[in-house]
Structure 1
Amino acid sequence: MDNVSLSNTTVKICNMREASFLLPVCTILAIVTLVTLCGNVLVIISIAYFRQLHTLTNYLVLSLAVSDLLIGIMVLPFVIFLFVTPCSPLHDVLCRVRGFFDMLLCLASILNLFCICIERYYAVCQPLSYQTKINSRIILGMIFMVWSLSSVLSFVLTFGGNKSKERCAIVQILKLSVIAAVIAFHIPFVVMFTLYMKILLVVRRQARSIHTASLSDGVSKAERRATLMLAMVIGVFFICWAPVSICATYQPFNHFSLPLKVMEIFKFLAWLNSMLNPFIYAYSHSLFRSAFRFILMGKIYTKIGPNARLQ
């Protein structure tokens, strides 16, 4: 009798699980997923199609867009499914799979951004040695290291820690959550912020130089565009990832006292980073705006070719 009552109670909880929030939460997640997919597909097509966008920086941007796109394909749909079906027989397995891809793709996204910052540092601060230190082979090596390191770390951090006994949540509480936060946020942000401050000082110094402005005006404009894009990407990255990363660092030392719903909201904010990056490219870089316009208007299927002049 007790077992029957317990079973009936469990079914009732599953059927009534946050019913008043189910529709709005799933609607918001579906919209974020759709916008993430569309925005990053635009970035990938733009860089792959238009030769004017075939630069070393944009190869790293392409890798970043792929990781953000895969978050929209392999993470957010899992989140929606697990939220809607908390008592599915495959819930625990899908929870682990979602957790692995979440860690893998979020790490790849952050490390791609880290590599973009390094490339910009050499381009602006050490232009004379840029050609020898940064080339297509080095960029491909960076991309390979990003995805290899992300795969290894995500496996260790996902399966090496003990998951909480609570239901599969958007945020999984691991014993290794502090290590994950340090690797995925604290170290990359400190390094990126330091490099960007150096880049900003050099750009301001170049802007004051009459010789630089007169001899390489086109080059300096291109560098300023890329630097502006980097600044916005780093700023949005900090806004989106700081809350969940700081809380993940703080939680183990405070007996995991922070409500799980708060952590889930912060994690959702972190996923927004993958949706916002394409808008940053469009806002800060006129070439991306032109490419997006050509694609959305269907001009790439007419007389427009990959050699089209973007303005």
Structure 2
Amino acid sequence: MNLTAVNQSDVCQEHACPERSVSLSVYVILYVAAAAVSLLTACGNLLVIISVSHFKQLHTPANILILSLAVSDLLVGVFVMPLYLSWLIESCWTSGPVMCSIVNFVSFQATSVSVHTVALIAVDRFLALSFPFLYSKKISLTVICIAAIFNWLFSLFYNFTILFVNGNFTYAMCPGVCVSSIDGVSSLIDLIIVFLLPCTIIIILYTHVFVIAKKHATAIRALQVHNSTQSSKNRVSDKSERKAAIQLGILVIVFLLCLLPYYICSLVSSYDNADRFYVRQVAVIIFYLNSTFNSIIYALFYPWFQKSLKLIFTFKVFNKDSSLMNVL
């Protein structure tokens, strides 16, 4: 996602670096809030990465995709959020054209990886619930790792091509502005590849996932009259799969809610004046905040992450064979 793709001449006509119009106390509060959000995003997702990477019990296909998503969210928290929020507070880009290019590219890359990773999560849950026996045999950690790596490499190639190879990326030649611009054809391609196609897959597959989960719940209630050991094991397994689907469903719903404002704004308006420019900036902030919300969702709804945090903060992860500890 570009920070802002607008008519550069109109933006440059605005006073790029106005004098500070708020009191010092408000100015400090804004910077403290920006630093807190960036730090929460970076640290929260770093803890997810440490948890999934360290504990062997968490080395599952679904968690590998969560790890990939956390890495892209970490990039947003470290490279994009601090500079972008600083630009909004100062109303002036002070980091120069090189950092502008880097931040825009990382923003595009993180967005592309995040959207396609969430789509892969939807595919993974759909296969796990629809074809459990085939899933257990065919979908291994190796397969998921290859899919995650391919996603990153494809996004890297795609974003480098759309931004630099075709000469689409431009830096506003006026002081205090970091504006990227891609042509109409590239914008349409980006809309389809990074929004319409993956989001269609996400919505369709998760609709199927919740329908299947509901059917499983009905079947489990029907089996409750049986007390055999095998039935008990099946109930526990089905319950676990449905719980995982619901947890990831929350993640997907929050993701879509954060993603939609940006693309709705992109579709309904050309953003060729300052007011619309700032509306779009708000939509971009909402999307970036999804990287913050994800780690909060893990902390609230994922027991394995809560247990992992306790082990990390009590330094038990440094114990011998700590990777084998039970966190489920």
TM class by shorter chain equals: 0.7 to 0.9
Question: Paired residue for 1:266, among 255, 269, 283?
Answer: 283
Bigger mean CA deviation after superposition, 107-116 or 150-159: 150-159
- Corresponding residue of 2:240: 222
1:154 positional shift: 1.8
Of residues 74-83 and 34-43 in structure 1, the stretch that sits farther from structure 2 once superposed is: 74-83
Q: Is 2:201 aligned against 1:191?
A: yes
Per-residue deviation at 1:65?
Answer: 0.8
Shift in CA distance, 152/303, structure 1 to aligned 2, threshold 3 Å: closer
Q: What does 1:116-127 correspond to in 2, within 5 Å?
A: 116-127=121-132
Aligned mate of 2:39, from 34, 41, 54: 34
Q: CA distance change for structure 1 residues 281 and 275 in 2, over 3 Å: closer, same or farther?
A: same
CA distance in 1, matches of 2:272, 2:86: 29
Q: CA deviation at 1:272?
A: 0.7
Correspondence 1:296 to 2:305: no
Alpha-carbon distance in structure 1 between the residues aligned to 2:29 and 2:100: 22
Say yes or no: does 1:174 pair with 2:177: no
Structure 1 distance, partners of 2:158, 2:260, is: 20
Kept in 2: contact 1:185–1:242 (CA 8 A): no
Evaluate the alpha carbon distance shift between residue 302 and residue 76 of structure 1 in structure 2; reply closer, same or farther with a 3 A threshold: same
CA contact (8 A) 2:93 2:177 kept: no
Alpha-carbon distance in 2 for matches of 1:43, 1:265: 27
Are the counterparts in 2 of residues 169 and 264 from structure 1 also a CA contact under 8 Å?
A: no
Encode CA deviations 1:142-168: one digit per residue, 9 max, x unaligned.
112210121122223333436585777
How many positions carry a matched residue from both structures? Answer: 299
How far apart are 1:44 and its partner, in Å?
Answer: 1.0
Question: Aligned residue for 1:4?
Answer: none
Contact 2:304 2:327 in 1 (8 A): yes
- Superposed, 1:82-97 pairs within 5 Å as 82-83=87-88, 84=90, 86=92, 88=94, 91-97=96-102
Q: Is the 8 A contact 2:42 2:74 kept in 1?
A: yes
Aligned alpha-carbon RMSD (Å): 2.9
The change in CA–CA distance for 1:267 and 1:167 in structure 2 (over 3 A counts) is farther
Point out the more displaced range, 153-162 or 42-51. Answer: 153-162
- Per the TM alignment, residue 297 of structure 1 is displaced from its structure 2 partner at its CA by 3.1
- Comparing 299-308 with 132-141, greater Cα deviation is found at 299-308
CA displacement 1:100-128 (0-9 Å, x = unmatched): 11101121122111111111111111112
| TM-score w.r.t. length of structure 2 | 0.80
Call closer, same or farther: CA 1:193–1:13 in 2, change over 3 Å.
closer
What are the equivalent positions in structure 2 for 1:141-160 lying under 5 Å apart? 141-159=146-164, 160=166
> Following the alignment from structure 1 to structure 2, what is the Cα–Cα distance between the partners of residues 168 and 147?
32
Which protein, 1 or 2, shows the higher relative CO under an 8 Å CA cutoff with sep ≥ 6?
2
Q: 1:1-311 residue pairs with structure 2 within 5 A?
A: 14=17, 16=19, 22-80=27-85, 82-83=87-88, 84=90, 86=92, 88=94, 91-159=96-164, 160=166, 161=168, 163=170, 165=172, 172-175=180-183, 176-209=186-219, 210-211=222-223, 214-252=232-270, 259-302=276-319, 305-311=322-328
Q: Provide the identity percentage.
A: 28
Change (3 A) 1:276 1:283: same
SS of the residue corresponding to residue 259 of structure 1 reads helix
Check 1:231–1:196 CA distance in 2 against 1; reply closer, same or farther (3 A cut).
Answer: same
SS of residue matched to 1:306: helix
Structure 1's consecutive aligned runs of 4 or more residues displaced over 6 angstroms after TM superposition are none
